[in-house]
Every structure is written in structure tokens, then in C-alpha cells.
Amino acid sequence: MRLDSKVPAGPIEQKWTQHKFEMKLVNPANRRKYTVLVVGTGLAGASAAATLGELGYNVKAFCIQDTPRRAHSIAAQGGINAAKNYQNDGDSIYRLFYDTVKGGDYRSREASVYRLAELSVDIIDQCVAQGVPFAREYGGLLDNRSFGGAQVSRTFYARGQTGQQLLLGAYSALMKEVQNGSVTLYPRREMLELVVVDGRARGIVVRNLLTGAFESHVADAVLLATGGYGNVYYLSTNAKASNATAIWRAHRKGAYFANPCFTQIHPTCIPVHGDYQSKLTLMSESLRNDGRIWVPKDPDDPRHPNEIPEEDRSYYLEETYPAFGNLVPRDVASRKAKDQCDKGRGVGSTRMAVYLDFRDAIERLGRETIEARYGNLFQMYQRIVDEDPFTQPMMIYPAVHYTMGGLWVDYNLMSNLPGLFVAGEANFSDHGANRLGASALMQGLADGYFIVPYTVADYLARVQPDRLDGAHAEFRAAENAVSDRTRRLLSIKGKRTVDEIHRELGLLAWDKIGMSRNRKGLEEALSEIPAIREEFWRNLIVAGENEDLNQSLEKAGRVADFLELAELMAFDALHREESCGGHFREEYQTPEGEAQRNDEQFAYAAAWEHQGDGQAPVLHKEELTFEVVTPTQRSYK
Amino acid sequence: MGKTMNLTLKVWRQKNAQSKGRLETYELQGVDADASFLEMLDILNTQLEKRGEEPVAFEHDCREGICGSCGAVVNGQAHGPMRETTLCQLHMRHFNDGDTLVIEPWRSRAFPLIKDLVVDRSAFDHVIRAGGYITMRTGSAPDAHAIPVDKEEADVAMDAAQCIGCGACVAACPNGSAMLFVASKVSHLAHLPQGRVEANRRVLNMVAQMDREGFGNCSNHYECEAACPKAISVEHIAKMNREHLRAALKPTGS
């Protein structure tokens, strides 16, 4: 089946404006008759829930944490892109659009990316008006920094805590609507099932994480804004509770999962150091503005990095990519770091790291400037590694960070299931095969503040607000399914903890569906993942009971879903016989070792339809047509 | 693998708010000095689960010191002995082989205990809900450069806005006061020109809600600042007091 992206006709600059006019509206007096469920309260979810609440819909917002303010958007460090051109350095909506399509290696939908670039400017206005304390210059105007994959400075930031400040802005807007009575908050609830009635998404079943009660919530539309699935790999920069359960459950209920193999490995993270390690820590990409990446030319150079003179260092990114230097896109920077380590030129005790050096920047700009720009990042590095980046180079290595894949959505951010909308990292849109830095915050807020409120209205205007009963057979069936599954997890009483099995899955995924992939490895993954899954359902131990706060049980449910999703990731990676962006198939590379796309055969988004356990998923293609930007071999030289 | 250590842990175990809690003693061997405090608890929990016992419930999420989920009182100090450090960013290298660590939940009337080290901090949400925002609708904003903001004021606003809502200030305060938490939001917004028109309402409503939640009064111990992982200064409390005084003295509506 060919998927209909529902991209409006007309010139790219006018599509969204025209579409906004053509979409249906709901009369203000009728809005409160419609209930919209928003699952997840990160940037996309909180901004959507707040805005839908302002418009007068009856909104219920769910989060797994104790408060919406803890969603993982909070950890984003570096910044948010916007085509304001405040720097007068040649930026424009068109250039941001172009950079994003190119950065995504021509695997995204042009019209959606253009709209994202267009809305980027409104986001900055919105956030400033909310009181987000962005960095400013002495004239009182906003400051910008540069990020990878761009030759202009278009990134707005709040020290190294931009995600925190934007999320607290969205959270405050959300709490305003809670106070106004238009949004009801359901914290400590985990969505475990989507309920589909007569082909439409009509509600969810959540588990109350304090009491274990399974609660049904009926609605006219459901919005999933539950983030990405990077935690499939166990070690990632994602928060520990970040999970794929909501989107995976929706996928099992019929929503297509697009491009699951498009995962982003972030180049600047603190290297892995021990087998007890629970997560990896990102060092913002903004560090590549002033930090220079290098390795010793001699792999066996025994000297302390400070004692290695200029001529014995290889600044391999600057040498290979003179135009972009250390600011090449993330996929390129990560792969090149891996190359260096694979060649034995890695540094540190594990030899799986490269240097990120601020010596020259400190000399040029002074310690104070560097401290003002990156102080909290340097402090975080010192806490974890116990070394001072002011006096010696940082050591960094790539780590799983973001997932471009997600549930397939059309131009309206609606999945193939009517009434199921998906926003933020949870959907597959906009970033193609590689996301540029500082674009995740942009997309989350564009989706939540400015797109979903319009498109959800258009959908609701076409359906009657009928009052479905929570006792409806589909809800009862979903509650029973969730309850059975939970009891099954508790009854295995085996010998291995959730973390142990998750770690095993993570190592396999990192090895075979990680930074570079090949046919043999992917085929091995496809045979080994089901074996781990079997081991999980046979030998898992989960202490405690359902009717209580039970963190092991929560983790078990999430890992059960990762064990299914990982297989789809490998399946997708095996089917995509090309390299593009973060999906690097070793068989398909240029003589210089860059990703070799195959536009003839693979210029499409691969949307997979679940067919039941043990059966191969069915592929649906959304053909990607490029009317404005001509796909070329990406070059950052 | 770095240096390792053996520890005696005394951990607060309590099934729920209704049951009685107690300190349970656990011996933990061979903990890597480079592990974080929460990774040390992970190691304990794995051992407990293998023995068929319930793991210690504790909140955590980002493990990067920004989400504000984690927190426990370690040997009498909120977030442990390192200044400006959340529990997740505290590393075991700051302890010694053979140490005894007493690990307890935040204790405050306004933070009822849920289980083990987990407490209910929803009182913070209630305070923000009462006014910790600028009332504006999506899409109604002027251009971001329409209002210049003094850089130094914006920097102070950012200092205050860094609050992660962890609750260490309340746990550290002998009175269980939430003044630093509330002040961080009030002061953040008070240093910006945006939302100035509703500043009086904001501070009055937030402070009133703070009192209703059962937090104690501030008597200038400054334990909150010492415990704050983001080093938020008590100067923001002074700022809030000035805002509150001015608002309280003004007739309603002006």
C-alpha cells in the first residue's frame, strides 16, 4: 500500500498557510465537549496539552513521573534552532529548511520540514513571552551560537540548560491550564494500551504506578508524545524511564512504525567506563564550537595529552572536512570517531575515546568566556570523570542519543489510525535519517504549540463527540490484556533481573544495530533477539506485587516491549540496502567512507505494519519526492 | 575498573505511609569508586532481587542532575556531602572503604512518604499552579526582540530559573520551609519585564498556596542554599520578600 502523506498542494512556502485556512474549526462553545488525551508531558506533550487547554478542549495529560516538569526534554543542553537571522549571517527559513533536509540525508518529507523551519521563528517569540531566560547580549537582545551541520549561528540557548528552560516554560503554560480547569493532570500513570473502537483511537488504559490500578480513559482523540526509543540499547543518554511502550502498544494495535533503524549516535558523550554503568552522559554538541577533536598520530604515544605537541596530533575532522571542521553533522562526527578507535588511535584506559580539547579556545578567549559558555558542562564532566577540562582535554565517545524513527504520521501528525496523533520524538517526521543539533527542541515545540492544536481540531470537527462508555467491550478487553500481562511478568519467578537481560539486549543492539551495520550482523541480531526474549519470559525475576509502587515491574514491561522493537529495528536496517545519515551499512559506502545512498530504490519512508507475534511485518512505503531540494551526495568538505 | 570499597548501608525501608518504617542494614562489597551513588544503589537492588527481596524504591530518571527526580538524605545531608551535586552526580570516590552510610528519604510534613526513599512532592506543582507562570496564549507573542532585557537581569533570572524542583531545600530546612523553591520561580519572573503586570497576583497566590501546603516558615538558617544542587542563592528569598511586601501593601487590582 502507498501511504498518503496528505501534503497540501501549492508552492512549498504557502502549503501550511493555505492548509490552516482549509482545515475545519470547532466552535468555541463545542470544544469542551471533546476530550483529548495527551500522553507524555515533555516539550511536545506539555505544549500541546497547554495549547489545547487554552483553546477550550477537555484535556487529560498523563506522565510517568511525579510531575510533568521531569520529562526528559529537560536534559537537552545546547539549544534550539530558529531562522530569525538575528545575526545577519545569511540565515532564512529556506536555509534552515535546506540544512535540515540535507542534514537528514534526504530521507525526510520536504513539506513537513519547510513548515518546521517556518514555525521556528514563532517558537522563539512564544518562549521569550513565557519568560524563558535565553542568553542575551549587552544590548538586551538575544544571543546565538553555532551548531553542527550549519554555517550560520541560529541556535538560541539558555546556558547549557536550554531544554530545561523550554520545558519549564511549557510546564508553566500547562500548569496555568490545570489551574484554569481545562487540563486535568494524571501523574505517575503509564500508558499500557491503546484502545481502538470502530477503527478510531478512542482511549487508553494506564497503570497507576502507586496503586497498580488499571484505569481506562475514553476520548475523542489521543496524542502520543512519549519520546524516543534509544533505551533499546540499555546504555544511552536517555533518562532511565524513557521507553517505547506507548508507541509500541499503539503499533501492535495497528499504527505503522516508520524507519525504526534511523537512530542517532551522538558524537560527544562521556565514554563508557564500567560494567555497573547505568547510563551515558551527553556533553552538548555546542562544545564543538570551541573544542577541537583530535587523537595522537602515534597510537602508542605514551605521553599525557598536554605534552603531545601540535605536529604529533591528528585533528582528523578539521583535516577531512575543512569547510565544516569540528561542526560536521552528528552522524559523520560519530562515525569518524569510531574509525579512529577502530584503527587503534583511541585514547584513555579503554582506548575507546578521542580528545575534545579547549586549550586553544581558552588561550584565545580566556577562561572566563569559556566558563560562561560551558561552565555547567565542564563541571558535570569533572564530577563524572574526575578530571578538569580547563587543564586537560576531555575524552569523548559516541553514544545512543535520539531516534529519528517513530510512529508514521501524515502532514497533520496523525497516524494511519484515525484519531491517533503523534508528536515530538515519538513520531518519525522531519529529521530523515539524521537529526541536526538543536532541532529536537524545535520540532517538539512546533508540533505541540503550533501544529497539533490545528490538526486535532480539523479531525474533531469531522467526528461527533459521542460519549463512549468506559465499560465498552474494547476497554474491558484492553484492561484484561494489561492485567494478564502484568501478572505474567510477576509469575515467572526466574533468576535474572530485568536490568541483566536489558543489558544483554543493549550490548547486542549496540554491536549489530549500532553505529555501523552489515548484513551478517543484522541477520545474527534477528536470530539472537528472539532468544533473549524467550529467556526474558522464562527466567525473569520481578520482586513485589502489582498493587504497590513497583519499579522493577515497570521496567519489566518496558523491556518486554524493547525486546520486540529491537527486532523490528534490525529487520528495517536489513531491508534498507543503502547507507543514509545515521543508518550506515558497511556494504554501501563511497570510496572515502561516506554514506552511499540509493535514491533509486530507497527514497521512501519505510512504515511497518504489525502482523502478530512471530510474523514478519508488512512494509508500506511513503515515497519521498523532492520538488525543491535536489538530493546530492552530502558534502561537508 | 578503578579502586573498590566495602560499605555498610543503613537504608530507610517503609512499605507505605500507613506502615512503620525502619533502618535496614546491608553490607555491600566491591563497589567501584567510579560508580555514582545511584549505581551503588542499583548494585544493592540487584543483590536484593536475586535473593527474592524487594529492591529499595528510590526516584531517579535523567541521572545527569537536571530532572530533579532523585534525592535522599545521606548521613544527615540532603543529596549527600558534595556541594552543588545531586545524588545521581555524587560518585562513590568521595567515600572511603569501610564507611557506614545512612540513607533516608526527604522528611517534611508537606512531602508525605510513599515508599522507602520515595516521597510525594506534588505540593510543588500546587504552588506553581497557583501562579508560577506568565499568562499568555500560544501564538499571541510579539517578536522576541520587541522587548530588550538587561543582560545582567536576564542572567540573574537564569540563576533562579535553574531550580530543578528536587526538594532538597525543604528536606534540609529545620522548619521544612519551601521558601527557596518558591522564591526561585518568583525571582526568575520578577527579574524579567515580561509578565510584570501580574507580578503582584503571582507572588501573593504562590505564597498563600505554599502556606496551605503545610511548609514551614523561613527563619534564615540558609540550610536550603547549602543543600541546593544548583546553588540557588537565598538572595532570591529576599527578592521574593520584597515582591510580597510590595504586593501586599498595594490595593487589589493595581
Q: Can you spell out the DSSP letters for A30-82? A: HHTT-EEEEE--SHHHHHHHHHHHHHT-EEEEE-SSSSGGGSGGGG--S-EE-
Let me know if residue B110 belongs to a domain. no
Q: What is the pLDDT of residue B91?
A: 96
Cα(A513)–Cα(A284) distance, integer angstroms: 24
Tens digits of per-residue pLDDT, B142-161? 999 999 999 999 999 999 99
Please report how the helices B122-129 and A162-180 are oriented relative to each other, as an axis angle in degrees rounded to 10: 70
A273–chain B Cβ distance below 8 A for any pair? yes
**A176–B contact, CB cutoff 8 A:** yes
For residue B222, being part of any structural domain is answered with yes
Is residue B201 in some structural domain?
yes
Q: Indicate whether B100 and B73 sit together in one domain.
A: yes
CATH code of B155's domain: 1.10.1060.10
Neighboring chain A residues of B54 at a CB cutoff of 8 Å: 543-544
Q: For A383-407, write each residue's pLDDT tens digit.
A: 999 999 999 999 999 999 999 999 9
Residue A528 and residue A519 in contact, taking contact as beta carbons nearer than 8 Å: no
Q: Among residues A400, A422, A457, which one ends one of the domains? A: A400
Instruction: Identify whether residues A379 and A478 lie together within a single domain.
Output: no
CATH of the domain at B89: 3.10.20.30
The Cα of B134 is separated from the nearest Cα of chain A by a number of Å equal to 6
CB contact (8 A) between residue A544 and residue B54? yes
- B11 and B58 fall within a common domain: yes
- The amino acid that residue A178 corresponds to is V
> Which distant-in-sequence residues (6+ apart) come within 8 Å of B161 by Cβ?
A133, A158, A165, A168, B184, B185, B188
Determine whether the interchain pair A175/B15 forms a contact, defined as Cβ–Cβ distance below 8 Å.
no
What are the φ/ψ torsions at residue B13 (nearest 5 degrees)? -115, 130
pLDDT at B1 over 70: no
Contact call for B142 and A125, based on CB within 8 A? yes
ipTM (interface pTM): 0.98
Asked if B59 lies within 8 A of A66 by C-beta distance, the reply is: yes
Residues A373 and A483 in one domain: no
User: Are B132 and A137 in contact (CB < 8 Å)?
Assistant: no
Contact list in B for residue A130 (CB cut-off 8 A) is: 133-134, 136, 141, 194
Same domain, B9 and B83: yes
Phi, psi of A232 (to 5 degrees): -50, -35
- Last residue of a domain, which of A400, A433, A464? A400
> In this structure, is residue A507 part of a structural domain?
yes
According to DSSP, the β-strands at A394-403 and A263-269 are antiparallel
Using a CB-CB distance cutoff of 8 angstroms, which residues of chain A are in contact with residue B53?
543
pLDDT value of residue B254: 46
Q: Determine the Cα–Cα distance for residues A292 and A294; give it in Å rounded to an integer.
A: 6
* Domain span at B56: 4-104
**Res. B136: pLDDT tops 50:** yes
Contact A579, A596 (CB under 8 A): yes
Domain CATH code at residue A564: 1.20.58.100
Q: Does residue B168 belong to any structural domain of this protein?
A: yes
pLDDT, position A1? 61
User: CA B108 to CA A432: how far, in whole Å?
Assistant: 48
Same domain, A396 and A477: no
Kindly provide the residue ranges of all beta strands, DSSP E only, lying in A299-353, ordered along the sequence. 313-314
Provide the chain A residues 571-610 that lie in CB contact (below 8 A) with chain B.
Answer: none
Q: Give the residue carrying C-alpha cell 526474558.
A: A536
Residues 6+ away with beta carbon under 8 Å from B34 = A273, A274, A386, B2, B91, B92, B93
Angle of CA points A306, A309, A314, to nearest 5°: 100
Is A175 within a domain?
Answer: no
Domain membership flag for residue B111: no
User: How many domains are contained in chain A?
Assistant: 2
By Cβ distance, the residue of A51, A66, A75 closest to B64 is: A75
DSSP SS3 for A163:
helix
Of A285, A349, A281, A293, the C-alpha closest to A318 is A293
pLDDT, position A374: 86
- Please check whether residues A489 and A599 belong to one and the same domain: yes
Give the C-alpha distances (Å, rounded to integers) separating A536 from A501, A521, A529, B110, B132.
7, 22, 10, 40, 45
Residues of chain A with pLDDT under 50: none
Cβ–Cβ below 8 Å for B148 and A500: no
Quick one: B222 and B141 in the same domain?
yes
CB A365 within 8 A of CB A229: no
Q: Tell me whether residue B174 is in a domain.
A: yes
Nearest-CA residue of chain A relative to B48? A543
Residue B251 clears pLDDT 80, i.e. is over it:
no
Q: What is the mean pLDDT of chain B?
A: 96
Considering the domain boundaries, does residue A156 fall inside one?
no
Pick the last residue of a domain from A374, A400, A426: A400
Q: Is residue A73 part of a domain?
A: no
- Residue A579 falls within a domain, yes or no? yes
Q: Determine the structural domain holding residue A309 and report its residue range.
A: 265-400
Question: Does A532 reside within a domain?
Answer: yes
Return the closest-CA partner of residue A421 out of A449, A446, A452. A452
Looking at the fold, whether B129 and B244 belong to one and the same domain comes out as: yes
Cβ of B199 under 8 Å from any chain A Cβ? no
User: Is the Cβ of A281 closer than 8 Å to some Cβ of chain B?
Assistant: yes
Domain count for chain B, please give it.
Answer: 2
Q: Is residue A173 in a domain?
A: no
Q: How far apart are CA B91 and CA B3, in angstroms?
A: 12
> Is residue B116 in a domain?
no
Chain B contact set for A395 (CB, 8 A): none
What residues 536-565 of chain A have any CB closer than 8 A to a CB of chain B?
541-544, 548-549, 551-552
Task: Identify whether A22 is part of a domain.
Answer: no
